[in-house]
Structure 1
Amino acid sequence: MATGKLFIGRKVRELRLQGNMTQSQCAERLGISTSYLNQIENNQRPVSAAVLLALAEKFQLDLSDLSSGEGDRLLSALTEALTDPVFENYTPGLQELKLVVQNAPGFAHALVAAHQAYRRMNEQLAGFDDTIARASPLEATPYEEVRDFFHFVDNYLHDLDIAAEKLAAEIGIGEADDAALLAAHLERAHGVRVLRIGPESALIRQYDPKQRTLAVNASVPQSTRNFQMALQIGQLHAADLIDRIAAEAGFRSPEAVDICRAGLQNYFAGALMMPYRKFLTAAHELRHDIELLSARFGSSLEQVCHRLSTLQRPGQKGVPIFFARVDRAGNITKRHSAAKLQFARFGAACPLWNVHQAFEQPDRIIRQLAETPDGARYLCLATQITKGGGGFFAPKPTYAIALGCEVSYAGAFVYADDLDADNRAAFSPIGISCRICERTKCPSRAVPPLKRKIAVDQNQRHFLPYELM
């Protein structure tokens, strides 16, 4: 497989400035010419293997930190924004976009944010209801702010993850009955007794700070009960750290801070139940078999898949994985990608993606080899999950969860063993979203691409009532 050229001019410049060196001093230390260093810093030339090794030796640069994940996410968001018809007279090339992302990421983020505000304004004007009078269409909703925060930190919070891993070792998570260990820690460390909520209640958990009691619904799975106890431990044990992270994120509203705080508590709970190094080792040993990982860590399939997508610790990274949760209407209710594949920020997911088939085949893990329009190929996994508990009339929403990686990592997954990943014909063509997908012959297309003109032939009809020009 061809390896892309590595342009890390911004990173090299940061290292040089941190060392208070001129370009000539830095170039001498690296054993290269000043002109070559200048070209590297301005992303006019890629770094060679020899320069990479020199950077690692002379500047203690961790080569694993050079993963293109963050750049891919920003590049995807910027590309999607610029497909909007408002930019119809401007179609930048991929190299031009990469230069913006590499050299001016702050500008790229600002442009993406401006496009999001424009989209929200158009959507609200199209609805033309009284929300126009009550809300500012130009501001991101608190939920969107928090979603973007987790997206651009790579869904990995180092300080929080380390704190959870340390506490897991102190509690002894994984060494005995986790439910008993968590309940005992809550009472011993925080004076909180764990009680049971009757299965007829609609509540999953309820914490009473005055009575120092945590009640958890008896009808939900044990993995959910354990997770809720772990979440409560996160609220009490890591409160200051969580508050600091939420405050430093710079959210516009108290609502966004509250939503982020809840997300950070959930993150801590997952990291406590599935400590980083133990989980990473198990993922390699079990070859990412999510059912075996679920059994080993006493966690649900969704919790396991989500945790796999967070394994981005510098120097100890796992396989770059994408993860999503989709409801029956096709809405992506959770999303994260450490892989090159990025999910559309607007519009529904590609109908050819196997995640939609999970609802038709419950209790099965569905596999798919897929190729996106840019030629990237992936191993895609999907399965249906059911939430909730209670009696016959209790609501039990169903979702499909999707997990996958670039095909170059497929060998690390047990699911790829009998798939013909070397046969290009075995890959299904998928896209990111119809509105930005350039495939011209897709019979499942919902809408034309935003920047393509269409032609309608009144005398003949194919699967689509138009052709793309």
Structure 2
Amino acid sequence: MPPQKLYAGAKLRETRNQLGLTQKDFATKLGVSLPYLNQMENNNRPLSTAVVLALAREFGMDVTELSAGDSERLVSDLREAFADPLFGKTTPALPDLRLVGANAPGFARAFLDLHRAYRQAQEQLASLDEALGREDTTLRLSPWEEVRDFFHYCDNYIDPVDRAAEHFAAQGRDALSLATEALARRKITLRYSSGRILRHLDHDTNTLEISAKATRATQAFQMLHQVALLTQNDLLEATLDLARFQSDESRAIAKIGLANYFAGAALMPYRRFQEAASATRHDLEALADQFGASIEQVAHRLSTLQRPGLKGVPFFFVRVDQAGTITKRHSATRLQFARFGGACPLWNVHRAFETPGRFLRQLAETPDGVRYFCLALAVTKGGGAFHAPVRRYAIGLGCEIDHAGALVYADGMDLGREASFEPIGISCRICERDTCHQRSVPPLERRLKVDHDFRELLPYRIE
């Protein structure tokens, strides 16, 4: 198979603009002609090997950043948006969507924002009686969705916050001790309580209340979260300024996310954690024990190891509830998650609820032919009392099959056998498999044929 051509015009233009160079100066530094650079920036020609090497040599660029990961995310999101019946038969062809994702990512994101606003408007109209009872019925993007997209398109890696957390943890002691000392320096008294409050800082008494029922990992995480708010506020606010969120609610939610990011990165400092992950072959239990973290915290942290020049294995990470709703998602791989509706039911993360506490392994293949190793685990969090509610969810972690050898969980699996890979998709509307026994709705870009005298698994045939 010939090597895949690399089209990265948008990334090339972005790099040039960040450097403040004209096309002529940029072409000179890359050793190409001005017309050739213009063609590459407009994706009329692929990047040559000489240009890729020049980018690394002249500007220290991590050439892995030229991959089409961000473009593929946009294409996946656009296909889901166009699955909306609103568009009827006007759905653009997949090659057209790929052109938009590669050449006009800003336009693609603006379109997705517009579609989300439309969906929210429809949901508000569906519950008009409730909406009329509120004074403010202004339509706007969901703050939660806006924040989730912010982290999604940052590859779930925030470099300044990650490095600040690594610097904080560089003193060498365990995270709980570091957090306790940081609070003591600010004359904050730590108190453990048996109530339902997980964390509460009383500014009047300078007392931080932490749940005594929480696990040690959760206690350390919550204390580090508070440390981030107290000691890194300027950094968090500067990061929020750059993000330019559309509402105060979005900004407030994002600040929680950034403080959580600091807490996870301080609990598991980048370089030390990456070295340990490689040494243990990404054994979640061993890493959780070594860093005093929970398995979910470890899995989430593995998905953030995207520091330029020091990247770890590119993982996807997801958390779903028992209804199949995705409550956390991130992908540094080509696998993208459904933004609207549930994920593919054939994915092992849904089966994890059947065997709580047990790791499930799966070799899977998506309709685009990409193969993955998938790991899933059901997690239960008790409330600390008989009548307290119990939270149940499943986490999924995985990577493309080329990286499976770096995971201890892949030992003993037949990675080279064709029949070992189960067919999965993203969501039914954009999955083109015509023989899936779990299909709930027809695929978006295929015609249907209905024969009243013939029936297989589905009441229609996909042409």
What are the within-5 Å matches in structure 2 for residues 371-450 of structure 1?
371-450=365-444
Higher mean C-alpha displacement, 32-41 vs 295-304: 32-41
Question: Structure 2 unaligned runs (5+)?
Answer: none
Structure 2 CA distance for aligned equivalents of residues 418 and 329 of structure 1? 32
Match of 2:233 in 1: 239
Could you report, residue by residue, the CA deviation over 1:415-439 in whole angstroms, capped at 9, with x for unpaired residues?
1121111122111011101122111
Match of 2:179 in 1: 182
Match of 2:5 in 1: 5
SS at match of 2:301: helix
Are 1:58 and 2:58 matched, yes or no?
yes
* Contact 1:183–1:193 (CA under 8 A) maintained in structure 2: no
Give the paired residue count.
Answer: 462
* Contact 2:169–2:178 (CA under 8 A) maintained in structure 1: no
Could you report, residue by residue, the CA deviation over 1:259-297 in whole angstroms, capped at 9, with x for unpaired residues?
111111111110110111111111111111111111111
SS at match of 2:263: helix
Structure 2 CA distance for aligned equivalents of residues 42 and 113 of structure 1? 24
TM-score by length of 1: 0.92
Structure 2 CA distance for aligned equivalents of residues 386 and 19 of structure 1? 49
Structure 2 CA distance for aligned equivalents of residues 168 and 20 of structure 1? 36
Are 1:296 and 2:293 matched, yes or no?
no
Match of 1:196 in 2: 192
* Contact 1:15–1:59 (CA under 8 A) maintained in structure 2: no
Match of 2:30 in 1: 30
* Contact 1:373–1:437 (CA under 8 A) maintained in structure 2: yes
Distance apart, 1:207 and its partner CA: 1.6
Structure 1 CA distance for aligned equivalents of residues 137 and 368 of structure 2? 37
What are the within-5 Å matches in structure 2 for residues 54-203 of structure 1?
54-131=54-131, 134=134, 136=137, 138-170=139-171, 172-174=172-174, 178-187=175-184, 189-198=185-194, 201-203=195-197
Structure 1 CA distance for aligned equivalents of residues 139 and 429 of structure 2? 22
Distance apart, 1:2 and its partner CA: 6.4
Higher mean C-alpha displacement, 294-303 vs 420-429: 420-429
Could you report, residue by residue, the CA deviation over 1:409-466 in whole angstroms, capped at 9, with x for unpaired residues?
1111111121111122111011101122111111111222344444443334332233
Could you report, residue by residue, the CA deviation over 1:319-360 in whole angstroms, capped at 9, with x for unpaired residues?
111111100011111111111111111011111000011100
What are the within-5 Å matches in structure 2 for residues 203-218 of structure 1?
203-218=197-212
Structure 2 CA distance for aligned equivalents of residues 52 and 447 of structure 1? 43
Structure 2 CA distance for aligned equivalents of residues 253 and 16 of structure 1? 31
Question: What percent of counterpart residues are identical?
Answer: 53
TM-score by length of 2: 0.93
Structure 1 CA distance for aligned equivalents of residues 318 and 97 of structure 2? 26
Could you report, residue by residue, the CA deviation over 1:212-251 in whole angstroms, capped at 9, with x for unpaired residues?
1112111221111111111111111111211222233222
SS at match of 1:130: helix
* Contact 2:120–2:142 (CA under 8 A) maintained in structure 1: no
* Contact 1:362–1:384 (CA under 8 A) maintained in structure 2: yes
Structure 1 CA distance for aligned equivalents of residues 21 and 209 of structure 2? 59
Structure 2 CA distance for aligned equivalents of residues 91 and 63 of structure 1? 34
Structure 2 CA distance for aligned equivalents of residues 36 and 154 of structure 1? 30
Structure 1 CA distance for aligned equivalents of residues 299 and 207 of structure 2? 30
SS at match of 1:280: helix
Question: Structure 1 unaligned runs (5+)?
Answer: none
Higher mean C-alpha displacement, 46-55 vs 301-310: 46-55
Structure 2 CA distance for aligned equivalents of residues 20 and 242 of structure 1? 27
C-alpha spacing 1:132/1:436, structure 2 compared with 1 (3 Å): farther
* Contact 2:6–2:67 (CA under 8 A) maintained in structure 1: no
Structure 2 CA distance for aligned equivalents of residues 126 and 452 of structure 1? 29
Higher mean C-alpha displacement, 431-440 vs 72-81: 72-81
User: 1:150 corresponds to which letter in structure 2?
Assistant: F
Alpha-carbon RMSD across the aligned residues, in angstroms, is 2.2
Could you report, residue by residue, the CA deviation over 1:45-76 in whole angstroms, capped at 9, with x for unpaired residues?
11121221122223333323324332222222
Structure 2 CA distance for aligned equivalents of residues 228 and 181 of structure 1? 13
* Contact 1:117–1:140 (CA under 8 A) maintained in structure 2: yes
Could you report, residue by residue, the CA deviation over 1:133-173 in whole angstroms, capped at 9, with x for unpaired residues?
74657421211111111111111111111111101113x24
SS at match of 1:384: strand
SS at match of 1:202: coil
Distance apart, 1:306 and its partner CA: 0.8
